[in-house]
Amino acid sequence: MRLHEYQAKDIFADAGVPVPDSRLAATVEEVLDATDAIGFPAAIKAQVHVGGRGKAGGIKIATDESEARGYAEAILGMDLKGYEVGTVLVEAGVDFETELYVGITMDRDEGEPVVMVSTEGGVDIESVAERTPGRIAREHVDPAFGLHPYQARRVVYDAGIPRDVAGDVASIVSALYDLYESRDASEIEINPVMVTSDREVVAADGVMNVDEDALFRHPDLKSMEDETAGDELEAKANDYGFDYVRLDGNVGIIGNGAGLVMATLDLVDHYGGAPANFLDIGGGAKAERVANALDMVFADENVDSVVFNIFGGITRGDEVATGINEALGRFDEIPKRVVVRLAGTNAEDGMEILNTDLVDVEATLDDAVRRAVANAEGAR
């Protein structure tokens, strides 16, 4: 479960991480009330689960009431990469000199959490890792012992953080690791950590993803789940119990098993398409669950075609085929062209059940993806 920025910062603040003064607002008047309390300059930041909010117009810095009103009117209700902005975070502007990066995630190659610190804050850290990996200092942590204070200091010094703020940055690193461990986070980062002209450090952004399978241990985080849904589709995914991530492409993808879905996403990209989502219906999916999955993907206005990739193990091909027929039978006219690839358990039975008047059927995944990408291009 991915938290909104304002939720992550509330948790960071409770852990002792310095954050700017801020207010959450859902109307223009609430934005103006917030700026009255906070003062100017003030950042007005869309609270949606997408990257690149600033470049997309979802973050603006207001220097007076007139600008604040104009930015609030523009951002609230805007479509930001497929998400309608319902709330904004109004935050005190930070007079900064330097931007840093601090993050923690799981290094699956090493089988341990890794702490990352860099002086290259305020930019896409993946790009930094690709272009200049030496500018990111890394410290692996044995989960049996946790992060030792000397490790926090070492990774900060290895990153080249100025000595006069290194201690404060190390304190942020330690606080974030404590949260990562105690709150069952899968990823946690601040980008950027801003260093002010007074040599104070402030968390100007906040990302925190929590392992959904561990939410039963954290009822306070569980209560945030509806707020983090982001839009109607993700709320619907929560209701259906799907693993679903909305992307910004136009080829809808449904599969059983995370690895199979990821492979399908990669192939869509390989053949020149753009994935619209990640949707895993899981193993042993019954017809109703399959029908719900198609209903979800059809509801995404960005989707122009759908590829359905099922490899039967627990999931039976005949049940999947029945679900597809039932879902498509609800429509007087099929809203998107659907390509189906079935393999594995009862796949031959499923192929016979499928109504080929409603779907395109391909024997291989490559052929299915190629056709789905062509269908999407033809719909534009």
Buried (b) or exposed (e) across 284-302, using 16+ Cβ within 10 A? ebebebbbbbbebbbebeb
> Does the annotation count 189 as an active-site position?
yes
CA-to-CA dists, residue 134 to 44, 124, 128, 158, 160, angstroms: 34, 15, 9, 10, 11
Paired tokens of 183? 């709150």
- Cα separation of 316 and 243, whole Å? 19
Of these residues, 6, 83, 101, 244, which one is catalytic?
Answer: 101
How crowded is the C-beta side of 176, counted as CA atoms within 13 Å? 33
CA-to-CA dists, residue 269 to 242, 279, 364, angstroms: 23, 16, 17
- Cα separation of 126 and 194, whole Å? 19
- Cα separation of 292 and 101, whole Å? 40
Of these residues, 189, 234, 319, 362, which one is catalytic?
Answer: 189
Assess contact for 290 and 319: CB atoms under 8 A. Answer: yes
Paired tokens of 380? 């534009």
Sign, CA dihedral 224-244-317-352, equals positive
Residue 257's region, left for phi above 0, alpha for psi from -120 to 50, else beta, is left
Alpha-carbon torsion, ordered 173, 176, 180, 182, to 10 deg? 120
Q: Could you write out the three-class secondary structure of 40-59? A: CCEEEEECCCCCCCCCCCCE
Active site amino acids:
101, 189
